[in-house]
Structure 1
Amino acid sequence: MSIPQSGGGPIERPEQLAEYLAEGCKPKADWRIGTEHEKFGYCKDTLLPLPYEGKRSIKAVLEGLRDSFGWEPVLEAGNIIGLIKDGANVSLEPGGQLELSGAPLESIHQTCDEVNEHLREVREVADKIGVGFIGLGAAPIWTHEQMPLMPKGRYVLMNEYMGRVGTHGKQMMRRTCTVQVNLDFGSEADMVEKFRVSLALQPVTTALFANSPFFEGKPNGHKSWRSRIWRSLDDSRTGMLPFVFEDGFGFQRYVDYVLDVPMYFVYRDGNYIDARGQSFRDFMAGKLPALPGEIPTLSDWADHLTTIFPEARLKRFIEMRGADGGPWRRLCAMPALWVGLIYDQSSLDAAWDLVKDWDAETREALRVSASVDGLAGGAGGIKMLDLAREVVAIAEAGLKARAVPGAGGLVPDETHFLSAVKDTLESGKTPADELLEHYHGDWHGDLTRIYAEYSY
Structure 2
Amino acid sequence: MSAPAKANARPVESKADLIDWFASGCKPPEAWRIGTEHEKLAFTLRDLRPLPYEGGPDGPGIRDLLERLKAYGWAPVEEAGNLIALTCPTGGSVTLEPGGQLELSGAPLETIQETCGETTRHHMNLKAVCAELGIGLMGLGFNPKWPRDAIPWMPKGRYAVMKRYMPLKGALGLDMMLRTCTVQVNLDFSSEADMVRKFRAAIALQPLATALWANSPFTEGKPNGFLSYRSHIWTDTDPDRCGIPAFVFEDGMGFERYVDYMLDVPMYFVYRDGRYIDVAGQSFRDFMAGRLPGLPGEKPTLGDWSDHVTTAFPEVRLKTYLEMRGADGGPWSRICALPAFWVGLLYDGQALDEVEQLIKDWSVAEISALRDQVPARALGTPFRGGTLGDVAMEVLDIARRGLARRGRINSQGRDETCFLDVLFAIAESGRCPAEEHLEAFHGRWNGSVDPIFVEYAY
Partner residue of 2:368 out of 359, 364, 367: 364
**Are 1:69 and 2:72 counterparts?**
yes
C-alpha displacement of 1:179 = 0.2
State percent identity of aligned pairs. Answer: 56
1:43 partner letter: T
Rounded to whole Å, the distance in 2 between the matches of 1:264 and 1:353 is 39
What is the TM-score when the length of structure 2 is the normalising length? 0.98
Match of 1:354 among 358, 376, 389: 358
- Aligned equivalent of 2:28: 27
Counterparts of 1:26 and 1:211 in 2: how far apart (Å)? 34
Report matched runs for 1:17-166 at 5 Å: 17-55=18-56, 56-66=60-70, 68-85=71-88, 86-166=90-170
Shift of 1:357: 1.2
- Equivalent position SS for 1:323: strand
Tell me the distance in 2 between the aligned counterparts of 1:102 and 1:63.
Answer: 19
Q: CA separation in 1, counterparts of 2:282 and 2:152?
A: 27
The one-letter code of the counterpart of 2:4 is: P
Report the secondary structure of 2:206's partner residue.
helix
**Which amino acid is the alignment partner of residue 238 of structure 1?**
C
Counterpart check, 1:415 vs 2:417: yes
Q: Is the 8 A contact 1:365 1:379 kept in 2?
A: no
- Is this contact kept in 1: 2:268–2:278, CA < 8 A? yes
Deviation at 1:380, TM superposition (A): 4.2
Q: Distance in 1 between matches of 2:206 and 2:163?
A: 26
Q: Which residue is 1:169 aligned to?
A: 173
The alpha carbon displacement at 1:97 in A equals: 0.1
How far does the alpha carbon of each residue in 1:307-328 deviate from its partner, in whole angstroms, 9 at most, with x for none? Answer: 0100000000000000000011
Aligned partner of 2:437 in structure 1 is 435
Summarize the alignment of residues 316-331 of structure 1 with structure 2, pairs less than 5 Å apart.
316-331=320-335
- Provide the rounded CA distance (Å) in 2 between the counterparts of 1:345 and 1:378: 29
Mapping of 1:303-314 within 5 angstroms? 303-314=307-318
Letter in 1 for 2:28: P
Spell out the pairing of 1:216-295 with structure 2 (5 A cutoff). 216-295=220-299
Q: Structure 2 residue aligned with 1:300, among 292, 297, 304?
A: 304
Match of 1:426 in 2: 428
Q: Is the 8 A contact 1:185 1:317 kept in 2?
A: yes
Match of 2:208 among 173, 181, 204: 204
Report the Cα distance in structure 1 between the residues aligned to 2:382 and 2:5, rounded to whole angstroms.
39
The answer on whether the counterparts of 1:81 and 1:152 sit within 8 Å (CA) in structure 2 is yes
Q: 2:184 matched to 1:180?
A: yes
Question: Would you say the 8 A contact 2:141–2:182 is kept in 1?
Answer: yes
Q: CA deviation at 1:226?
A: 0.2
- d(CA) in 2 for partners of 1:8, 1:103: 24
How far residue 8 of structure 1 moved from its aligned partner, in angstroms, is 4.4
The reply on whether 1:9 has 2:10 as its aligned counterpart is: yes
Instruction: Name the CA distance, whole Å, in 1 between partners of 2:106 and 2:382.
Output: 33
- Give the AA of the match of 1:4: P
Task: Using structure 1 for the length normalisation, give the TM-score.
Answer: 0.98
Amino acid at match of 1:108: I
Q: Tell me whether 302-311 or 440-449 shows the greater mean CA deviation.
A: 440-449
- Output the CA distance in 1 between the equivalents of 2:386 and 2:27: 35
**1:241 Cα deviation from its structure 2 partner:** 0.4
Residues 404-438 of structure 1: per-residue CA shift (max 9 Å, x gap)? 111x2x22410000011011112111110110110
1:71-96 deviation line (CA, Å, top 9, x unaligned): 10010000000000021100000000
Contact 2:91 2:107 in 1 (8 A): yes
Question: In the aligned structure 1, how far is the partner of 2:223 from the partner of 2:155?
Answer: 31
Distance in 2 between residues matched to 1:146 and 1:331, nearest whole Å: 27
**Consecutive unaligned residues in structure 2, runs of 5 or more:** none
Distance 1:334 1:111 in 2: 11
Work out the CA distance in 2 between the residues paired with 1:215 and 1:372: 14
Report SS of the residue matched to 2:11.
Answer: coil
The answer to whether the 8 Å contact 1:362/1:380 transfers is: no
The residue type paired with residue 36 of structure 2 is T
Structure 1 residues 251-303: Cα deviation after superposition (integer angstroms, max 9, x where no partner): 00000000000000000010000100000000000000111111100000000
Distance 2:61 2:191 in 1: 44
| SS state at 2:55 partner | coil
Opposite residue 448 of structure 2, the aligned amino acid is D
For residue 451 of structure 1, what is the aligned residue in structure 2?
453
Distance 1:404 1:370 in 2: 33
Rounded Cα–Cα distance in structure 1 between residues aligned with 2:26 and 2:360 = 23
Preserved CA contact (<8 Å) 2:161 2:268: yes
Q: Secondary structure at the match of 2:236?
A: coil
- Deviation for aligned residue 1:120: 0.6
Aligned residues of 2:393 and 2:428 also touching (Cα < 8 A): no
Q: Say what the alpha-carbon RMSD is for the aligned residues.
A: 0.8
Superposed CA deviations along residues 153-192 of structure 1, whole A, max 9, x for unmatched, are: 0000001111000111000000000000000000000000
| Cα separation, 1, equivalents of 2:316 and 2:100 | 24
C-alpha distance in structure 2 between counterparts of 1:253 and 1:381, whole Å: 34
**Using the alignment, how far apart are the partners of 1:292 and 1:425 within structure 2?**
54
Q: What CA deviation, in whole Å up to 9, does each residue of 1:1-35 have, x standing for no partner?
A: 00001244111122000100000000000000000
Q: How does 1:385-424 map to 2 (within 5 A)?
A: 385-406=389-410, 408=411, 410-424=412-426
Q: What is the distance in 2 between the residues matched to 1:360 and 1:316?
A: 25
Q: Distance in 2 between matches of 1:214 and 1:354?
A: 34
Amino acid at match of 1:429: R
What CA distance in whole angstroms lies between the structure 2 residues aligned with 1:324 and 1:226? 7
Partners of 1:326 and 1:4 lie apart in 2 by 26
CA contact (8 A) 1:403 1:412 kept: no
* Alpha-carbon offset, residue 352 of structure 1: 1.4
Query: Given the superposition, is the C-alpha separation of residues 200 and 301 from structure 1 closer, same or farther in structure 2, using an over 3 Å criterion?
Result: same
